[in-house]
Amino acid sequence: MTERIDVEFPSGSQTCRGWLYRPDGPGPAPVLVMAHGLGAIKEMRLDAFAQRFADAGYAALVFDYRHFGDSTGEPRQLLDITLQRQDWSAAVDFARTLPGVDGSRIVLWGTSFSGGHVIATAAGRTDIAAVIAQCPFTDGLASVLAMNPVTLAKLVPRSLADLLAARRQRPRILVPLAGSPGSLGLMTAPDVLPGYLGLLPDGVPFRNEVTAGVGLMIAAAFPGRSARRVNSPILFCICDTDSVAPAKATVRHARTAPRGELKHYPVGHFDIYVGDAFERAVTDQLDFLRRHVPLP
């Protein structure tokens, strides 16, 4: 039977907390290091993916970033790309120390915003066995151009004000993560509110807000450009009608990866976490793992 235990590890001066899924069977098992997308927490369907990987014989380390979920860090809801990439490095280092885990065979698994993080992280390391980037954020310009112009006009001044507040060491300015079309928020396409908040189980505390400055950080981020420097096998799971991370830009970047594989799904950004799309995606991901990171 798969065992899930609470774990924690240091990142900078804070503590990241998460779950370790230990599979039943002979070890040591390869381990997937997993984290969520834009402002999301591990309870938002990462457990479903991790459980399927563990049932198949793989270990999985699932964590919340600093400032989010169960992890420490003030101010709360601070989303900083550099800090989150540091959390990824700390998680990989921690995974290497886990008993019963093959620290020489680590797989990075990222979805949405963290899909970009795993591309950039793998590009800077030579010790990653494989990468899975699901509906990944790859191109800031493409994501900004996909936004509602009314929303964009509301978001830019808030983002500038928040970055100025951070520079002056004043309280940060927050904006919604998910909102209705035309409202103020980082994601406001028609499928966002039901799709994003629909991933959250009943009774799990969650704040639908984040520091506004990340809006400008997103516009200047192009993690997909790092794909050409990822020498590990990397699977791109692309949602063809993605309203958040446009598929066309992702395909363009994915094709530059030396050992890239592309899988397409005729669904939106949030559909891949549930139902038939989830089943197809996790089946494809397990096939990828068995071919490139086989079990002992």
Q: What pLDDT, on the 0 to 100 scale, is given for residue 27?
A: 76
Residue 1 has pLDDT above 90, yes or no: no
Q: What pLDDT, on the 0 to 100 scale, is given for residue 26?
A: 76
Q: What pLDDT, on the 0 to 100 scale, is given for residue 223?
A: 98
pLDDT tens-digit map of 190-200: 999 999 999 99
Nearest-angstrom CA–CA distance, 255 and 124: 19
Q: With DSSP H G I counted as helix, E B as strand and the rest as coil, what are the percentages for the chain, rounded to 5?
A: 35, 20, 40
CB distance 60 to 132 below 8 Å: no
Q: What pLDDT, on the 0 to 100 scale, is given for residue 157?
A: 97
Nearest-angstrom CA–CA distance, 287 and 296: 15
Nearest-angstrom CA–CA distance, 118 and 189: 25
pLDDT tens-digit map of 48-68: 999 999 999 999 999 999 999
- Of 160, 22, 11, give the one whose Cα is nearest residue 84: 11
What average pLDDT does range 211-219 have in this prediction?
96
Question: What are the CA-CA distances from residue 224 to residues 10, 75, 130, 163, 219 (Å)?
Answer: 28, 29, 16, 25, 13
Q: Does domain 3-74+81-140+223-292 have CATH number 3.40.50.1820?
A: yes
Nearest-angstrom CA–CA distance, 7 and 20: 6
Give SS3 for 253.
helix
